[in-house]
Chain A
Amino acid sequence: MKISSPFIHDARPTNQVMRLVILALLPGILAEIYFLGWGVLLNLLLCSAYALSAEALVLRLRNRPIKSTLSDNSALLTGLLIALAIPPFLPWWMSLIGVYFAIIFAKQLYGGLGFNPFNPAMVGYVLLLISFPTEMTSWLPSINLANQQPDLLQSLQLTFLGLTSDGLSLQDFRLLADGYTMATPLDETKTAFSLGLMTTEIIQEDRFLPNLTGWIWLNIYFLIGGLFLLFNRIIRWQIPMAMLISLFATASFLNMIDDELFLPGWIHLLSGATMIGAFFIATDPVSAATTPKGRIIYGAAIGFFIIIIRTFGGYPDAVAFSVLLLNIAVPTIDHYTKPKVYGSQIKVKTDV
């Protein structure tokens, strides 16, 4: 019983919010499975199981209610986000390490949902990226370019054994018909720029645009899910809008300075983890800035750093690094962006 007012309440409960976020991931999930194969589905199943078991384990150790906490769906969401961020056919034990680290260290050790200063999924992802850089950047070419995609059995074998029964490794599947090993478009350009190639040369490569197309579709499907969240008022517009605008503006600015050395803004906008990052990762309310103005600064800074790190850093993509970087800045941002409360600004009296 409530002992003091208010006595009425009407809101979508937290677990439903999380469920809707997961639902909104569906278009992106299906697209990723279509373009990148069965491995994505395997990752999703594995990471969900890891996330739930890790959460249950810690809750048991902490003597917290397991069933009701698991049903808030937040651990599941973390697992799914990691699954979508890691490349398909990543060895099963690597994703295990990533998810367990995310749930146990980045979330539960801080006190669980609501207390983690960092985005758990991104902590897990970054741990994997730093520890296993080769495996973590070994993506298959998207389906419209791939020589052959592993079937379900081969996918299982790749994930759990590293080799298919007919002796193919992941690297074999990454080879194109012409014997070229494919990577993500962002990875491709990173390598090409380091070899001294120009933007026009990179884009004119036969394999570049078909590969990019897959990633563009992926981003579009995540964008659709994100808009669903936006229109259902589950996330607010500030972070995704600020992030996408600032990302596009920064990239376009660089591109304007020298369009041969820097990719055009639209490629940045529709490749890598841009859209999933803008709508599903940067918007994690627990670790994001919480004031209306703060959210704009937070989102804009993430967009800016994504381009800076993608362009000048050592890694092809940078959503995770930028989000974690800004997570650190959240208390400061929140402190300096408090909204003006009623009565704190003197207004000139106007006619009624």
Chain B
Amino acid sequence: MIKETKIISHAKYHIPGGIHPKEFKSISNQNAIEWLPQANELIIPVPNNLTDKQFLVSVGDSVVAGQSLLSLDDDLFSLQIHAPCAGVVLAITHKNIGHPSGLPMLSVIIKTELSRNVSSEKTSSLVSPDGWMNLQVEELIQKIHDSGIVGMGGAAFPTHIKLNTSVNRVTTLIVNAMECEPYITCDDRLLRGHSTEVLQGALITAKIVGAKNILFGIEDNKPQAITCLENAITQYKNTPGENHLTLEIRIIIAKTKYPSGGEKQLIQLLTGLEVPKNKYPADLDIIVQNVATLYAINDTICHGKTLTHRLVTITGDLVKKPGNYWIAFGTPLSHIVSTLEIVSQQVSDIILGGPLMGQIVSDVNIPTQKSTNCIIFNADIFSAKNIRNESKTVHTECIRCGECETACPVSLLPQQLYWFSKSEQWEALEEQNLFDCIECGACSYVCPSEIPLVNYYRYAKSEIKYLKVKQQQSENAKIRFENREKRLARIKTEREEKRQKTAEARKSATNKLDQDPDGKKSAIEAALKRVKDKKEKQS
């Protein structure tokens, strides 16, 4: 147990459920951070809905590192995309980038200049390390926007949007350094090597959103990272500058348990609060940022660097030199395989991310992206001890043992969700709060029948969403149909009324003529009178 100090304390609250899988973290956290040699070719996916005008580069153009590839008209909801390294645009084409849909995505292919050594690539410092204190909040957010920073814990949500919606709304910045999934160690190594920079990033973020507290949430399996972070905080507190922020900065240590690093779970662990249904952390005056994101913010604000690389854990039993590497976005996995001497014949499936929430890919040509925090190369992804091979195509049936329910961090009843998903009872599923499932996979992990529960939930969620769209469409169609019916009926009645009116008018006119000869007479008299008047006027 790590000793409590002024800065360090242990989490007072806990989350329900959770699991304790074997960590496998020591495979990759023994070596210091290194730079991965640059790849020959980078694949940079861009949105599929762009017009030609929005491309700032075309095939054959030279690009420099950090050059913007797209013109997005300063739209604050867009995400800037840059060339990670200097080179030449080879093509703009559809490529398999490992999208979960399996569909190829429009990508810019850059042939890099091999002569350059990546580690020396540093754009000039635009701002002195402390100069940011004088910048306005809007300027800071604009810089973060221009740098293309996203949440690097996995969700890849644009950071500037998250910051923008939190400005002056939050009092607490929670830094997510939990890293609760097995195998992944990039946040651990980042904190061990760069906690000052991460802290600086946290200070910048706190200034932007107006936070009064910074809480670092970290699991107790990273004692070295905790010490480094503590030193950085002590150092900051002991060297008061003129622009010193008066903040309470603390490290809160939680017992290692998966999935403590989920955003909502972390908030619950550190504050005892639950983000209400359909609300956001900002509604609790909280913003959560991952350490890698804060490092990127510091790099952008203090060193003027664009986000072009990230720290990636390369691990697994096939990797000769497992560790954490700075890797340019868009680097194909094949380059990692060849550079790190991974026995490629044995690579069958690669996991991007962790083994509990990651994604499996089999194509080595797909690129790394901003959210790629870990790549696992195992001979057999299930071969490691404690991990059994899932060779069976059919799982055995659920016996409602309830192991899943004790593992669920959200207090759902996975066994019931499974039952209703399988029988496609959508309404019952919503009643069972299916949409509160965070898909952490703890239920599948402990299932004695080895049911791929999360698969069932994903299927049910997408079916329900699809049905809702369909329902909305048919409701709209119904409204349109009803409106059309009303309109037609109205036109019909209007036409009928009009017809009746004219008919009546005509009828009354003829009636007048027939029944009232005096009318005729009076008309003649009136005419005569008019003639008479005219004559009198003339005379």
Chain A positions near chain B (C-beta within 8 angstroms): 1-14, 16-17, 72, 74, 112-115, 236, 285-286, 288, 290-292, 334, 338-347, 349-350, 352
Chain A residue numbers with a CB within 8 Å of B403 are: 11
Bound complex: CA A69 to CA B458 (Å): 28
Contact B396 A72 (CB under 8 A): yes
- The B402-444 residues at the A interface (CB cut-off 8 A) are 402-403, 405, 409-413, 415-416, 432-433, 436, 439, 441, 444
Can you list 17 A-B contacts (CB < 8 A)?
Answer: A2-B452, A4-B452, A4-B455, A5-B356, A5-B357, A8-B355, A8-B356, A285-B399, A285-B401, A290-B416, A292-B405, A341-B433, A343-B277, A343-B436, A349-B284, A352-B252, A352-B271
Chain A residue numbers with a CB within 8 Å of B452 are: 2, 4
Partner of A10, one of B284, B353, B397, B446: B446
Contact A17 B402 (CB under 8 A): no
Contact A4 B454 (CB under 8 A): yes
Bound complex: CA A352 to CA B271 (Å): 5
Partner of B432, one of A72, A288, A338, A347: A338
Which listed segment binds A: B60-68, B234-242, B384-392?
Answer: B384-392
Contact A349 B273 (CB under 8 A): yes
B262–chain A nearest beta-carbon distance, Å: 10
Given contacts A4-B360, A347-B274, A352-B213, 18 further A-B pairs with CB under 8 A are: A1-B390, A5-B353, A5-B359, A6-B445, A7-B360, A7-B390, A8-B356, A9-B444, A113-B397, A290-B413, A334-B413, A342-B410, A343-B264, A344-B274, A344-B277, A344-B433, A350-B271, A350-B272
Bound complex: CA A341 to CA B412 (Å): 6
- The B233-290 residues at the A interface (CB cut-off 8 A) are 252, 264, 268, 270-277, 279, 284
Contact B358 A343 (CB under 8 A): no
Contact A9 B272 (CB under 8 A): no
Bound complex: CA A236 to CA B412 (Å): 17
Bound complex: CA A343 to CA B412 (Å): 12
Task: Tell me if B351 is interfacial: C-beta within 8 Å of chain A.
Answer: yes
Bound complex: CA A350 to CA B13 (Å): 11
Chain B residue numbers with a CB within 8 Å of A291 are: 405, 413
Known contacts A10-B446, A113-B399, A114-B398; is A5 also within 8 Å of B413 by CB? no
Partner of A8, one of B215, B382, B400, B415: B382
Known contacts A2-B452, A11-B446; is A288 also within 8 Å of B400 by CB? yes
Contact A290 B402 (CB under 8 A): yes
Among A10, A114, A236, A340, max chain B CB count under 10 A is at A10
Chain A residue numbers with a CB within 8 Å of B351 are: 7
Chain B residue numbers with a CB within 8 Å of A286 are: 399-400
Contact A17 B433 (CB under 8 A): no
B394–chain A nearest beta-carbon distance, Å: 9
Known contacts A17-B401, A115-B397, A285-B401; is A346 also within 8 Å of B276 by CB? yes
Known contacts A5-B357, A10-B21; is A342 also within 8 Å of B447 by CB? no
Partner of A342, one of B274, B401, B444, B446: B274
Task: Tell me if B349 is interfacial: C-beta within 8 Å of chain A.
Answer: yes
B398–chain A nearest beta-carbon distance, Å: 5
B518–chain A nearest beta-carbon distance, Å: 85
Chain A residue numbers with a CB within 8 Å of B445 are: 6, 8-11
Chain A residue numbers with a CB within 8 Å of B432 are: 338
Bound complex: CA A34 to CA B283 (Å): 67
Task: Tell me if B449 is interfacial: C-beta within 8 Å of chain A.
Answer: yes
Per-residue CB contact flags for chain B residues 32-76 toward chain A (1 = under 8 Å, else 0) read 000000000000000000000000000000000000000000000
Task: Tell me if B193 is interfacial: C-beta within 8 Å of chain A.
Answer: no
Contact B416 A334 (CB under 8 A): yes
Bound complex: CA A3 to CA B444 (Å): 13
Residue on B with the closest CB to A16? B448
Partner of B413, one of A7, A8, A338, A347: A338
Bound complex: CA A74 to CA B441 (Å): 27
Contact A2 B390 (CB under 8 A): yes
Task: Tell me if B172 is interfacial: C-beta within 8 Å of chain A.
Answer: yes
Chain B residue numbers with a CB within 8 Å of A334 are: 413, 416
Residue on A with the closest CB to B396? A14
Contact B411 A339 (CB under 8 A): yes
A5–chain B nearest beta-carbon distance, Å: 5
A256–chain B nearest beta-carbon distance, Å: 35
B200–chain A nearest beta-carbon distance, Å: 23
Chain B residue numbers with a CB within 8 Å of A16 are: 448
Contact B458 A4 (CB under 8 A): yes
Chain B residue numbers with a CB within 8 Å of A112 are: 397
A208–chain B nearest beta-carbon distance, Å: 40
Chain A residue numbers with a CB within 8 Å of B275 are: 342-343
Bound complex: CA A236 to CA B449 (Å): 18
Chain B residue numbers with a CB within 8 Å of A10 are: 21-22, 386-388, 445-446
Chain A residue numbers with a CB within 8 Å of B274 are: 342-345, 347
Residue on A with the closest CB to B12? A352
- The B349-383 residues at the A interface (CB cut-off 8 A) are 349, 351, 353, 355-360, 381-382
Chain A residue numbers with a CB within 8 Å of B252 are: 352
B502–chain A nearest beta-carbon distance, Å: 66
Bound complex: CA A268 to CA B172 (Å): 58
Among A5, A14, A112, A352, max chain B CB count under 10 A is at A5
Bound complex: CA A236 to CA B274 (Å): 27
Bound complex: CA A319 to CA B413 (Å): 28
B277–chain A nearest beta-carbon distance, Å: 5
Partner of B387, one of A9, A236, A340, A343: A9
